[in-house]
Structure 1
Amino acid sequence: MKRVVVGLSGGVDSSVAAYLLKEQGYEVIGLFMKNWHDDSVTISNECPWLEDSNDALLVAEKLGIPFQTVDLSEEYKDRIVDYMFKEYENGRTPNPDVLCNREIKFDVFMKIALSLGADYVATGHYCRKGILEKDGKEIYQLLAGIDNNKDQSYFLCQLSQEQLSKSLFPIGELTKPQVREIASKLDLITAEKKDSQGLCFIGKVRLPEFLQQQLQPKEGIIIEIDKNDPIYSIDKPTFESLEEQLNFDSQPYHYLPTMGKIVGKHQGAHYFTIGQRKGLNVGGTKEALFIIATDIETNTIYTGQGQTHLGLFRKTLKVQPQEIHWIREDLRLNNGETMEVMARIRYRQALQKATLHQFESGLFVVFDEPQSAITEGQFVAWNSKDELVGSGVIS
């Protein structure tokens, strides 16, 4: 009997994952991760970790599997929370969920599970694992979940072959309604529980308050750039090479305060992100204002009216060499090579047609259609059909 440690989060997905594994004949152990917690910034009644760990315990009892809690708050603070503060301080927008999977669930947590003699670690992610044979060697695939509406492969875009080899995703073949139905039939306490929307296991956090713990408020101005500003119709220079052109195309627009008009004030450019509409508190415009750029050096926020404002769109982005990650190492591009893929720059975005261009200076992702709010610090992930093959941090 193979032993599997399930990350029981106190939600319905991991509860059903544990049940399915037990049905398949595995020896199942439930482990709840206590991650970093700070009551001062949590929206108190939304998913405090205590309630979640109690629910996880009740599920384990109901399924008749051993259960324990591991406290990973120190590692979580080091690897996720501190990293987030640093990224925001530098004007980038990190994705804590992708990082939490890479650094905590499939690293720290996985090592604990393996030390308990586990053969595998299982989670309640909506994705699937495939196995290919190539040159006499097994290659692991990260495949999209069957439920298009819930596919979570994007959140696992930074996993390695080693991590995938030891992972199981029992609910990847099911839809969310089917998972809830199984939980209801088993009369599990989590059957009707709402999905947690918080930062991967922190619970719901008020982001500005969370950031204000380390990043001091600092008043600055909000500037509105007209959609017909000359910056959007500048003639492109001539380029010596494709690499030079892609480098140029991947640069965001550089705005100056003199290009627009002051429409309000803010408490710190590092609290805001591109594409954001809420929290600006500026009224009196015909269409809603969207953030098109933030300048940390001058503490300035640039905005434009409406979600079709040209400042929101770009077709090309760049991933620095050290940030390129291939789940499928065998498909890695050599310098000068290209690959047609389907890519996305955020969870829930429909896959978009794109071409990868690999150069020594980095990897360029060129979309067929302009993309809204390409944001530095977020992850771009690329697929071949329903398989996620690689990803990288947008630079």
Structure 2
Amino acid sequence: MKRVVVGLSGGVDSSVAAYLLKEQGYEVIGLFMKNWHDDSVTISNECPWLEDSNDAMLVAEKLGIPFQVVDLSEEYKERIVDYMFREYEIGRTPNPDVLCNREIKFDVFLKIALELGADFVATGHYCRKGIIKTNDQETYQLLAGKDVNKDQSYFLCQLSQEQLATTLFPIGELTKPEVRQIATDLDLITAEKKDSQGLCFIGKVRLPEFLQQKLQPKEGVIVQIPNDAQVFNRSKTEFESKEEELAYKATKYEYHLNDGKVVGKHQGAHYFTKGQRKGLAVGGTVEPLFVIETDVDENIIYTGEGKNHKGLYRNVLFVNNNEIHWVREDLALKDGEQLQVKARIRYRQALENATIYKISGGLYVEFENQQSAITEGQFVAWYQDDELLGSGVIS
């Protein structure tokens, strides 16, 4: 019997994952990760860890599997929370869920599981693992979940071949309603439980209060840039090379105070992100204002009216060499090569046609269509069919 350690989160997905593995004849151990101690910034009743660990314990009891709680809050603070503060401070918008999977669930947690003699770890993610066998070699594939509405492959876009080798995704072939039905039939306490929202394993966090622990409020101005501002009149069409064209199209618009008018005040540019609508508290416009750029050095937020504002859109982004990650290392592009892919820049976004171009300093992703709010610090992930090939941090 192979031993599997399941990350039991106290939700329905990991509960059913544990049950399915037991049915398949694995020796299953349930482990709950405690990643957070500070309740002052979590929104009460939205996934407090105590309730979750209790639910996880009751599920383990019902399934007749051993259960324990591991405290990873120190590693979580170092690898996720401190990273978030650093990113926000320099005006980037991190994705803690992607990081949490790479650094906590499939690294720290995986090591603990292997120490417990596990052959595999398993999670309740909606994605699948494929194996390609050539000669004596096995190459692992990260495939989208069967449930298109719940596919979570994007969150796992930073996993490596080594991590995939020891990972199982038991519910990847199921839809969410099917998972709920199994839990209902088994009378599990998690059957009707709502999906947890917010930060991985922390729950819903009030982001401004959370960030204010480290990043001090600092009053600045909100500037509204009109759609017909001079800054948008750049229409270069002649380029010496494809690389020059991509570099030009990937360059952000550069705004200055006198490009628009001051319409309000804010408490810190580092609390805001591109594409954000909430929290600006500026009235008097026909359509809502959206953040089109933040300048953390000058502490200015630039906004545009309406979700079709020119400042929100471009179709090329860049990823630096040190932030490119190939899940399929065997398909990594060499300098000068290109690849037709489908790509997304956020979870739940429909996959869009794109081409990736590898150059000496990194790679460009050129989308067929304009993309709204391409945000530095977030992850772009690229696919062929339903396989996620690689990803990178938008620079």
For the residues of structure 1 that align with 2:365 and 2:36, how far apart are their CA atoms?
Answer: 35
Which position in structure 2 is the counterpart of 1:152?
Answer: 152
For the residues of structure 2 that align with 1:198 and 1:64, how far apart are their CA atoms?
Answer: 30
For the residues of structure 1 that align with 2:329 and 2:107, how far apart are their CA atoms?
Answer: 19
Which position in structure 2 is the counterpart of 1:114?
Answer: 114
Letter in 2 for 1:299: N
CA offset at residue 17 of structure 1?
0.1
Which position in structure 1 is the counterpart of 2:82?
Answer: 82
For the residues of structure 2 that align with 1:367 and 1:276, how far apart are their CA atoms?
Answer: 22
For the residues of structure 2 that align with 1:225 and 1:344, how far apart are their CA atoms?
Answer: 27
Which position in structure 1 is the counterpart of 2:206?
Answer: 206
For the residues of structure 2 that align with 1:134 and 1:41, how far apart are their CA atoms?
Answer: 50
For the residues of structure 1 that align with 2:171 and 2:221, how far apart are their CA atoms?
Answer: 48
Which position in structure 1 is the counterpart of 2:227?
Answer: 227
For the residues of structure 2 that align with 1:133 and 1:230, how far apart are their CA atoms?
Answer: 56
Superposed counterparts of 1:101-180, under 5 Å? 101-180=101-180
For the residues of structure 2 that align with 1:184 and 1:248, how far apart are their CA atoms?
Answer: 55
Which position in structure 2 is the counterpart of 1:97?
Answer: 97
CA offset at residue 200 of structure 1?
0.3
Letter in 1 for 2:36: W
1:265-309 Cα offsets, whole Å, 9 max, x none, are 000000000000000000010111000000011000000000000
CA offset at residue 357 of structure 1?
0.2
Gaps of 5+ in 1: none
CA offset at residue 87 of structure 1?
0.2
Q: How many residues align?
A: 395
Matched, 1:36 2:21: no
Which position in structure 1 is the counterpart of 2:369?
Answer: 369
For the residues of structure 1 that align with 2:204 and 2:364, how far apart are their CA atoms?
Answer: 34
For the residues of structure 1 that align with 2:225 and 2:198, how far apart are their CA atoms?
Answer: 33
For the residues of structure 1 that align with 2:215 and 2:308, how far apart are their CA atoms?
Answer: 31
CA offset at residue 150 of structure 1?
0.1
Letter in 2 for 1:378: Q
Identity of aligned residues (%): 75
Matched, 1:255 2:255: yes
Superposed counterparts of 1:297-312, under 5 Å? 297-312=297-312
RMSD: 0.8
CA offset at residue 63 of structure 1?
0.1
Question: 8 Å contact 2:31–2:68 — kept in the other structure?
Answer: yes
Matched, 1:287 2:287: yes
CA offset at residue 238 of structure 1?
4.5
For the residues of structure 2 that align with 1:289 and 1:87, how far apart are their CA atoms?
Answer: 24
TM-score by length of 2: 0.99
For the residues of structure 1 that align with 2:185 and 2:198, how far apart are their CA atoms?
Answer: 27
CA offset at residue 331 of structure 1?
0.5
For the residues of structure 1 that align with 2:342 and 2:28, how far apart are their CA atoms?
Answer: 36
1:70-117 Cα offsets, whole Å, 9 max, x none, are 000000000000000000000000000000000000000000000000
CA offset at residue 230 of structure 1?
2.0
Q: Secondary structure at the match of 2:41?
A: coil
Which 4+ runs in 1 deviate beyond 3 A?
237-240
Letter in 2 for 1:301: I
For the residues of structure 1 that align with 2:89 and 2:218, how far apart are their CA atoms?
Answer: 12
CA offset at residue 361 of structure 1?
1.4
For the residues of structure 2 that align with 1:237 and 1:177, how far apart are their CA atoms?
Answer: 50
Letter in 2 for 1:27: E
Which position in structure 2 is the counterpart of 1:326?
Answer: 326
For the residues of structure 1 that align with 2:69 and 2:365, how far apart are their CA atoms?
Answer: 41
1:19-47 Cα offsets, whole Å, 9 max, x none, are 00000000000000000231110112111
Distance 1:135 1:324, change over 3 A: farther
Letter in 2 for 1:163: Q
Q: Secondary structure at the match of 1:40?
A: helix
Which position in structure 2 is the counterpart of 1:6?
Answer: 6
